[in-house]
Amino acid sequence: MKLFLQLSLVLSIAAVGPFGVAAPFEAGLSAMDREHYATAYRAWKKLADEGAAEAQNNIGYLYEQGRGVKQSYARAIEWYNKAALQNLAEAHHNLGMLAFQGYGMRKDYLAAKRHFTDAAELDQHDSEYMLGLIYYQGHGVAKSPRRAKAFFLEAATHESSKGQFMLAFMFQAGEGHPEGKAEPVKAFIWANVAERNGYDDTESILSFSRMQITDTVQQKALELVSACIESNYTRCPK
């Protein structure tokens, strides 16, 4: 069974402050959509210099990606830190990603975990997924399938297709279960949820699950998939 773990940076997309601030911020987002990165930089730079955390994060993102500016991890970290000091969740997440991957700094899983924890507490759900990954793979901490599963569940119930996939994977493998017992029905449900939310690599789990449960059970499970999504993830298997 193929295990594919996706990592991601996050851009701030919420408009900030009064109309005078919101207008240029949204202009920057519009320029990003059109791939006019230098225009986005110009729209955000003055706001960032004036202390708008969302603009600071986005300037950091542009430097990290080398879009509209010369690529520089050092400048990205500088801008992310400015935004993180204002408790911007996206900035904490992005600093966590740089520390986790060792871009612009040595790999530092404890620093990554600290930033992901700060971001998760500020409702950055990509960071919940990353905390799950840290405990699943044992990056700087003892491997803990139980804790990994708990974080993946948090991410999954906050509409993270990556968290939903990993939850399905763990249910299929019996990881995080007190007795190591595989739960193919739960795996089938969460893999379907992840697929409906755009995750592209669920077929290995779905195929394996179908071999373990009857057609009747599959049909009932598909009803539970719809119930899970329609309930805003309050009626999902745990």
Give, for all 238 residues of the chain, the pLDDT tens digit.
333 445 667 788 765 655 456 788 999 999 999 999 999 999 999 999 999 999 999 999 999 999 999 999 999 999 999 999 999 999 999 999 999 999 999 999 999 999 999 999 999 999 999 999 999 999 999 999 999 999 999 999 999 999 999 999 999 999 999 999 999 999 999 999 999 999 999 999 999 999 999 999 999 999 999 999 999 999 999 9
What is the model's pLDDT at position 3?
38
Supply the range of the domain harboring residue 176.
144-238
What is the number of structural domains in the chain?
2
Could you tell me the maximum CA-CA distance found in the chain, to the nearest angstrom?
61
Read off the CATH number of the domain in which 23 is found: 1.25.40.10
- Is there a single domain that holds both residue 7 and residue 54? yes
- Is there a single domain that holds both residue 82 and residue 174? no
Q: Evaluate whether residue 133 is within a structural domain.
A: no
Contacts of 90 (CB under 8 A, 6+ apart): 10, 11, 12, 54, 57, 83, 119, 124
- Is there a single domain that holds both residue 102 and residue 151? no
Contacts of 30 (CB under 8 A, 6+ apart): none
Of 108, 126, 154, which closes a domain?
108
Q: Evaluate whether residue 139 is within a structural domain.
A: no
pTM, whole model, 2 decimals?
0.91
- Is there a single domain that holds both residue 236 and residue 159? yes
Q: Evaluate whether residue 127 is within a structural domain.
A: no
Ordered alpha helix ranges (H), the chain = 19-33, 37-49, 53-65, 73-84, 89-101, 109-121, 125-137, 145-157, 161-173, 184-196, 203-210, 215-230
Give whole-number Cα distances, 98 to 70, 78, 178, 190, in Å. 18, 12, 34, 29
What is the model's pLDDT at position 156?
98
What is the model's pLDDT at position 21?
60
- Is there a single domain that holds both residue 96 and residue 189? no
- Count other C-beta atoms under 10 Å from residue 151's C-beta: 25
Q: Evaluate whether residue 117 is within a structural domain.
A: no
DSSP assignment of 153-193 equals: HHHHHTT-HHHHHHHHHHHHHTTTSTT----HHHHHHHHHH
Spatial distance between the Cα atoms of 206 and 187, rounded to a whole number of angstroms = 8
- Is there a single domain that holds both residue 15 and residue 82? yes
- Is there a single domain that holds both residue 100 and residue 2? yes
